[in-house]
Amino acid sequence: MIEVKNLGKQYTNGFVALDNINLSVKKGEILALLGPNGAGKTTLISTICGIVNPTSGSVTVGGFDIIKDYRKTRSLIGLVPQELTTDAFETPWNNLRLSRGLFGLPKNPQMVEKILKDLSLWDKKDDRIMTLSGGMKRRLLIAKALVHEPQVLFLDEPTAGVDVALRQDMWRMVDDLRKQGVTIILTTHYIEEAEAIADRIGVISGGKLLLVEDKQLLMSRMGQKQLKVELMESLDALPTVLAEQGFVLAEDSLSIVYHYGKDAPEVDIAGLLQSVASAGLGVKDIHTQKSSLEEIFVDLVERAA
């Protein structure tokens, strides 16, 4: 659905916001873009939507070039910007009518009504936008993007500053849209959300796309598990038997840790514990944990920097 080839953007002050980005997004998938602040996520989205002119490379949406066939590509795209940019003095109703008009679509009061109701904004339709709460403004921006029936939806940090209940509503809506075949690209700071909702995950840092991978693959490739055994008493040196089996002594010398890959061949946990017991170590607690997307992400970004 979207093909980004060698895309680059250098601002007039010399800042390179995008550095040779290559990305391909399939129809109907949800791609989450992760990256620290200022990584280039918004610039990438803005370029695809036509708000920022690229300095090099090309982008096609639905097979059409975003510069040559901008009318075709833009009518496929809905954008929910990161900032709460609204016409403070207008009403939601008029604002949605403007959005439909801008995209060259005829008036459709039923549709506007349905979207306003879906996003629980119906009773606010004739109020000035400046009187709406932050969460309502966020929903209005989503309504504005949906009202022209996009095939591709960009959500630029849609849940920033949104409370938990609303956030869950929003993800339910994203799920509904996916079922209708809408392609969704979102950026978020909440990594657990990307983990929960996305099909694929892309990591951007310093204008470079570090990787794009299937979420499951990424987690199994990059993810690690560890078995941590907390000891009753601190240990000066690790018994050789345990060191040979792969245990390492933690820095606080109060626990020993065994690392293994998530998809590693069967690990004999019972055997490991038996060795610990036969080495005469008193065990206070044991737990295993797998590295989360968050750890993978931090690891990647730090390695790139």
Partner 1 sequence: MNVRGMWAIYCFEMSRTKRTITQSIVSPVLSTVLYFVVFGGAIGSRIESVDGISYGAFIVPGLIMLSIMTQSLSNASFGIYFPRFSGTIYEVLSAPMSFWEATAGYVGAAATKALLIGLITLATAGLFVPIEIAHPFWMLAFLILTTITFSLFGFLIGIWADGFEKLQLIPLLVVTPMVFLGGAFYSIDMLPSAWQTVTMFNPVVYLISGFRWSFYEISDVSVGVSLMMVTLFMGICLALIGWIFKTGYRLKQ
Least distance (Å) from partner 1 to the CB of residue 194? 24
Query: What is the SS3 assignment for 282?
Result: coil
Near partner 1 by CB under 8 A: residue from 83, 192, 285, 299: 83
Nearest to 234 by CA among 217, 218, 219, 251: 251
Both tokens assigned to 215: 């979420």
Roughly how many angstroms between the first and final C-alpha of the chain, as a whole number? Answer: 31
Near partner 1 by CB under 8 A: residue from 16, 103, 127, 210: 103
Per CB under 8 A, which region of 96-104, 116-124, 193-201, 228-236 contacts partner 1?
Answer: 96-104
Contacts of residue 187, Cβ cutoff 8 Å, sequence gap at least 6: 32, 33, 34, 35, 41, 42, 45, 82, 155, 156, 157
Return the number of the residue (74 or 139) whose C-beta is nearest partner 1. 74
DSSP code at position 14: S
Q: Can residue 35 be called a binding residue for partner 1 (CB under 8 A)?
A: no
Return the number of the residue (70 or 190) whose C-beta is nearest partner 1. 70
Near partner 1 by CB under 8 A: residue from 14, 37, 53, 165: 53
Nearest to 197 by CA among 209, 221, 215, 222: 215
DSSP code at position 214: E
- Cα torsion for 205, 209, 215, 216, to the nearest 10°? -100
Least distance (Å) from partner 1 to the CB of residue 106? 7
Q: Can residue 102 be called a binding residue for partner 1 (CB under 8 A)?
A: yes
Q: Can residue 97 be called a binding residue for partner 1 (CB under 8 A)?
A: yes
Q: Can residue 41 be called a binding residue for partner 1 (CB under 8 A)?
A: no
Near partner 1 by CB under 8 A: residue from 60, 75, 205, 255: 75
Q: Can residue 60 be called a binding residue for partner 1 (CB under 8 A)?
A: no
Near partner 1 by CB under 8 A: residue from 16, 52, 250, 267: 52
Q: Can residue 64 be called a binding residue for partner 1 (CB under 8 A)?
A: no
Catalogue the E-assigned strands of the chain: 2-10, 16-25, 30-34, 56-61, 64-65, 77-80, 152-156, 183-187, 200-205, 208-214, 224-231, 248-249, 255-261, 283-290
Q: Can residue 67 be called a binding residue for partner 1 (CB under 8 A)?
A: no
Near partner 1 by CB under 8 A: residue from 106, 181, 265, 280: 106
Q: Can residue 89 be called a binding residue for partner 1 (CB under 8 A)?
A: yes
Per CB under 8 A, which region of 48-56, 109-117, 177-185, 257-265 contacts partner 1?
Answer: 48-56
* 224 contacts 291 by C-beta, under 8 angstroms: yes
- By CB under 8 A, what part of segment 140-179 binds partner 1? 144
Return the number of the residue (73 or 187) whose C-beta is nearest partner 1. 73
- Binding-site size for partner 1 (CB under 8 A) equals 36
Near partner 1 by CB under 8 A: residue from 6, 11, 244, 262: 11
C-alpha angle with apex 288: 32 to 255, nearest 5 degrees? 125
Count other Cβ atoms within 10 Å, centred on residue 166: 18
Radius of gyration, alpha carbons of the chain:
25
Q: Can residue 187 be called a binding residue for partner 1 (CB under 8 A)?
A: no
Near partner 1 by CB under 8 A: residue from 8, 57, 105, 114: 105
What does the binding site for partner 1 look like in residue numbers (CB under 8 A)?
Answer: 11-12, 46, 49-53, 70-75, 77, 79, 81, 83, 85-90, 94, 97-106, 144
